[in-house]
Amino acid sequence: MWRLALRTLKFRRTSFVATFLAMFLGAAIVIGCGGLMETGVRMAADPQRLSGAPVVVTGEQTYDSSALTERHRVDAGLAGEVAGTDGVRAAVADVSFPATVLKDGRPVTGESASYGHGWASARLTPYTLAAGKTPVAGGEAVLDAGLARRAGIRPGSSVDIVVQGTTRRFRVSGIAEQRGDHNPDAAVFFTDDEARALAGGRIDSIGVLPAPGTSVAVVADAVRATVGDRAEVLTGERRGLAELPGTLSSRRTVVILAAVFGSSVVLIVMFGVASTLGLSLQQRAREMALLRAVGSTPKQLRRMILTETAVLSVGSVLLALLPGYAIGRLLFGVLTGSGVVSSAIAYHAGWMPMAVGAAVTVLAAAGATRFAGRRAARTEPVAALAEATAGTRWFSVPRLLLALFFLANGIGLAVATATVMEDGPTLASTAGPASVLFGIGLTLLAPGLTKALVALLRLPVRLLSGLSGHLALRNAATANVRMAGAVAPIVLLIGIATGTLYMQSTEDHVSRTSYDRNILADYVLDSTTGGFAPGVVDRVRATPGVAAASEFVTSRGFVDRPDGPADVDLRGVSAAGVRRSLDLPVVAGSLTGLHGDTVALSDKKARAYGVRVGDRLPMHLGDGTAVRPTVVALYTDNPKQQYLTLPAAALAPHTGDGLPHQILVRAARGGGAEVHDRLAALAARVPGTELDDSSSLAGRNNQIQQILVSANYTIVAMIVGYAAITVVNTLVSVTRKRRAEFGLQRLTGATRAQVIGMLTVEGVLIGVIATILGTLAAAMTIVPYSLVKSDSWLPSGSIGIYFAIVGGSVLLVFGATLLPSWRGMRNPAVDTVKAA
């Protein structure tokens, strides 16, 4: 049987190459998405500046299983306790805060940011003195060699450094050189006491150095026992997370992205492999009948088909391992390049995604073999004399039940999206797969749907296309299963591409317009040196022509509820300027009360949390700090900007840099260019300050919303590319199989032009039918998503997107049918018929 299967593969190269290609590409894409999933689940990062510490103690990075978005610092006293743990040679406290060196009053810029640390932590990278001496007193600093070179600084010189928004002068006591290339950021070292004071008295992490001969695992366990639940102990490749606060919050994004698209890819790959293999077996109906005629049993034929499939699937999976890894790296590179995750996160693709890719490919092939191969193996010998009737039967109860299953699940996800899901990052997790499931359900019923639609289109086709249309309609009526095989992959291509691209365009439009309406300020001041000192906003308010100014801080936190914490966006503002900087129509209380331990929120959120003005709202901020601010105001709910508003002075200390990075400015009427010039002059006097109009805030918000766009488009391009290859495979295989038919038509009097015209009309029919069904599939995603996002049945975005998708699909149809047909008809018709 093996010998027969291998000989069959040899003499059926065209169909088997198409099947092999579908398996190979499918396995590679599934492996790539699996690698992305594993990376998100593991979320590990190699240490950078702390690479010399085998064990790192840092603040807890989660609250109630939810990732914190800001750094959770630890008490400074914990370093002494860790140092006294058995097996610990030294425990080095580490802090990190923005410290910007100035040259001629301007920040010394380079390829990376600049941070301040205590000198004791220099040994963890390690940094060693290249010149001068260590800092021993307040007012002294050591610069790394690269930073000193750019600033033109030598030991003994004085230098201005912006720390905590204030410019201070330090004496450079030494220059430090980094061994290796672990720390990508510029470093400024102070005495340990001064660094800790500048960081607010707490420490970020503790680098633990084991005693000689002591196992790292043993020390780590001992340290865990010492710190208990007050901190987290990291070893191995997870140590890098201590230097990347908030990184774990991107895990959910990566996992959701990989899960949504991975599940879609799995379904599409299984469908693509099954349809390609099924088509190949359908085209071999006469061969199967002849094998039955010479004595082969159905069992023997099934074994032969299974052996062929095993050879193809195993070979394709083995060859797909490396390309699959490369695809995963490509997807991860897109995520890091767009800022979804830090570039320091390590990409992981172990045996699990490879096993999943192999299993999906093999199971898809085995399923296709069982259904299509079973029917092919049962072909009666007499069917060899009636090949024209082969392939006309398609309906079966299992096929109907499977189609209803996919259709019902697609509709169910669409209904859930419109009625249950809320506007948020998880909305796409139900909206996206809806079109895939519904599309697969339609393709399973494609032969019947194709026959019905051909009947509806019969009259206009006859009127517009003459003899070519008549021939095309006869072919469509007698070979509806064959035509449905060409329609099916195009339905998925149009459905997935249209649904996903319009989902993204709707998201972009809603985000952009809602943010524009919410920002009332005319200008925004941005700090590139770690934030503004508290007095800067007062200087802005005192500028002639300025009607209002408000500090602006963004973060994420949690509202504590009986059923678990709820993620919320947080904004910090100044009470004196918030009413004229942000559109927050007050319905109860007053925003002027936003001082100290207070909060304002929308009336809808207040009802959801069960609070009113005067009540306390239990919360945890982005760094895990528990607070209970008093509700001082309620404002009208904006479904697209659902954030809680706190005083900037209360929120900023719980963010990474501890200071506001923006100041919103509202100009008085008639201020014009004079206000801009005065603000520009003020910005020039505050080092590292940039002035821009308020549209830059909307642009930055849109950029935040766009961080997944490139990843979405990349993955969609892969899915659409795979569907397109399936389309080409299917159409080319079908067209090559019909060469004898074209030869017979030419022998009975049809010209090449008439045959090409017939194929053109068939292509138009395929395109029209696939467009109708694909649009129905896309609607399962677009309509509910648009209803939730914009209260509209129609998506936002140019109609050109739809036309481009449909046009590209039709071009694929024509390219995959007309070109092979034209090449095949260059040979004499008699030779073509004989070759069959």
Full DSSP string of 304-328 = HHHHHHHHHHHHHHHHHHHHHHHHH
Give 183-235 pLDDT, tens digit per residue. Answer: 888 999 999 999 999 888 888 999 999 999 889 999 999 999 999 988 999 99
Helix (H) or strand (E) holding 411, with range, is: helix 397-419
CB 171 within 8 A of CB 133: no
Cα separations (Å) of 1 from 252, 290, 409? 49, 16, 41
Cα separations (Å) of 828 from 218, 272, 746, 757? 81, 34, 9, 19
Give 446-463 pLDDT, tens digit per residue. Answer: 888 988 888 888 888 877
Q: What is the 3-state secondary structure (H, E, C) of 217-235?
A: HHHHHHHHHHHHHHCEEEE
C-beta pairs of 413-420 under 8 Å, 24+ apart in sequence:
413/437, 413/780, 414/438, 414/780, 414/781, 414/783, 414/784, 415/784, 417/784, 417/785, 417/788, 418/783, 418/784, 418/787, 418/788
Q: 475: pLDDT confidence band, cut at 50, 70 and 90? A: confident
State whether residue 748 is helix, strand or coil: coil
> Where are the strands (E) in 232-335, listed by range?
232-235
CB 635 within 8 A of CB 586: yes
Backbone angles phi, psi at 208, to 5 degrees: -105, 125
Specify the pLDDT at position 709: 62
Highest mean pLDDT among 404-418, 479-493, 711-725: 404-418
State whether residue 114 is helix, strand or coil: strand
Query: How many percent of the chain have pLDDT more than 90?
Result: 30
* Between residues 362 and 809, the one the model is more confident about: 809
With tokens 């930073």, the residue in question is: 147
Written as six digits, the tokens of 126 are: 């390690």
Give 385-430 pLDDT, tens digit per residue. Answer: 454 444 456 677 888 898 999 999 999 999 999 888 877 667 777 8
Would you say residue 4 has pLDDT above 70? Answer: no
Give pTM, 2 decimals.
0.76
Look over the chain and give the mean of its residue pLDDT values, rounded to a whole number. Answer: 82
- CA-to-CA distance for 42 and 115, rounded, in angstroms? 28
β-strand pairing of 566-573 with 643-647: parallel
Give 765-820 pLDDT, tens digit per residue. Answer: 888 999 999 999 999 999 999 998 888 888 888 899 899 999 988 888 887 777 77
Q: 660: pLDDT confidence band, cut at 50, 70 and 90? A: very high
Cα separations (Å) of 744 from 286, 738, 755, 801, 829? 18, 10, 11, 41, 7
Specify the pLDDT at position 170: 95
State whether residue 614 is helix, strand or coil: coil
Give 228-266 pLDDT, tens digit per residue. Answer: 988 999 998 888 888 888 777 777 777 777 777 777 777
Would you say residue 708 has pLDDT above 60? Answer: no
Torsion of CA 60, 65, 68, 72, to 10 degrees: -10
